Amino acid sequence: MVGLIDGRANAAGRKGHEFPEPVASLLLYCKKIWPDIGLRELGRIVERKLGYKTNHHTVKSFLERNPIPIQLKLDLKTFHEFEDAYKRRYEVVRMFFDGWSKTSIAGAMRLSLNHVCDLIAAYKKDGFVALEDHRTRPALHPKNQLTLPFLEELAEIQKEYPRAGAYRVKAILESRREEVGNTDPVPSQRSISRGVTITRLFMAVPGPWPPPPFIKAPPEPGPPRFDPIYRHQYWFIDIRFLVRLDGHWVYSICILEGYSRCFLAGMCSEYQDELAVLQLLHAALAEHGCPETIVSDNGGVFIGAAFEGVVGGLGIAHPTIERGKPWQNLIEAQFKVQLRLADAKFEEAKTLAEMELRHAEFLETFNTTAHWAHRHRGDGLRKPQEVLAGVRGKLVNPDELADWFKGEHTERCVSTHGRIRIQRFSLYAERGLARRRVSVWLHDG
């Protein structure tokens, strides 16, 4: 507080009128801490604090006679300097009822005028309850989540999967934390998107992946023709070109269970003939049983006699998609995920064995990370492997399965010289497999 003021300083400026010492001291103090305060506000503060009525003309005359040569530093806390949210709101309301105008409060507290008006209006309506924290913002807010360790974790995933979007990055992050037993909650997809943008700007992470120029925008898909409503109702099979290796193409052949979106079997092959498709189909049928329907396109390997014979013999329906409508085959959408998650690794592979390893890693990653199609499930299952839950289709007798693949697949025991005998032919297999039973596939005689 200011010191005592002499009699001449106490004179307010009107003849025969003097301010009492407490009033004069309060006026000078308020003017010191907030130089821009209005004259009417000063009179209002004096009236509410000390019960002394005056007007702005008298206050103006007093301040002209008693100028303040040195402005003291404002010792009021600004709105965001209060650690407790309730106290900062209370301070705004207290200043208003002490006589401060809303504009002066906004200036002194470094706050917008609209915010001040909203706080005062809420207090007048609901009292002190309005000053409590009613924010709907979650406790795990991006401001507290996007830490440097977390951004480094995101950057590591983005460098491994440079073409993955925010949803897949989040799914892979969840899967990795489960593997190491990390129970920290994973931020929302929106926070992941913010983090992905930050890492691209400041951590030398590859930018958004532009689609290759030869990929045309697909036509607007119509309603799904094959929409599974339970497990093993529909299987989907197709072949996808991957990359060229040593002058020839390498292909990805996969079988997908439609309801769970789980890959049942898949292989990376140099060939896309009937033999490769039958090998994959045999592996899927032996492990997962028979589906009701298997859907494919009109490729020659899928409408050939060998494939149709096995599928028809096992009582599996085999419709094909309409020409020019690839989206009817549900596996096409999953191949787009393969393009984003695995193609960058396929392009770096130098040998077929390395590509086969990358392909197996992709199938494992795909089946064990959250899938977009399951984001609204009520049971909380998000991963294709969890949704499939080990459920098998119609059981098929191994002998019956062998009968339908007879002529295409057989088993033989390798001799001590590494040879096998088929019909009247003796063929070399592998000497290292001597006296072991092996699987043999025959094609085109």
Residues of the chain short of pLDDT 70, as ranges, are: 1-17, 68-75, 135-144, 211-222, 406-410, 441-445
Q: What are phi and psi of 46, to 5 degrees?
A: -60, -40
Can you tell me whether residue 166 is helix, strand or coil?
helix
Question: Taking Cα atoms as reference points, which of 74, 10, 81, 1 lies closest to residue 37?
Answer: 74
Alpha carbon distance 239, 255 (integer Å):
9
Quote the crossing angle between the two packed helices 85-97 and 113-126, to the nearest 10°: 90
**From start to end of 246-302, where are the E strands?**
248-257, 262-269, 293-295
Alpha carbon distance 257, 278 (integer Å):
17
Q: What is the pTM of this model?
A: 0.64
pLDDT at 57: 83
Asked if 355 contacts 346 with a C-beta cutoff of 8 angstroms, the reply is yes
CA distances to 135, 239, 300 from 326, in Å: 47, 12, 16
- Name the residue ranges covered by the structural domains of the chain: 7-131, 142-202, 234-388, 407-441
- Looking only at the bridges linking them, the beta strands covering 419-422 and 425-428 are antiparallel
For residue 33, the one-letter residue type is I
CA dihedral 225, 229, 234, 237 (to 10 degrees): 70
CATH of 234-388, one of 3.40.950.10, 3.30.420.10, 3.20.20.80, 3.40.50.150: 3.30.420.10
Residues 6+ apart with CB under 8 A from 428: 418, 419
Alpha carbon distance 261, 387 (integer Å):
8
Residues 6+ apart with CB under 8 A from 222: 325, 327
Alpha carbon distance 17, 24 (integer Å):
12
pLDDT at 1: 36
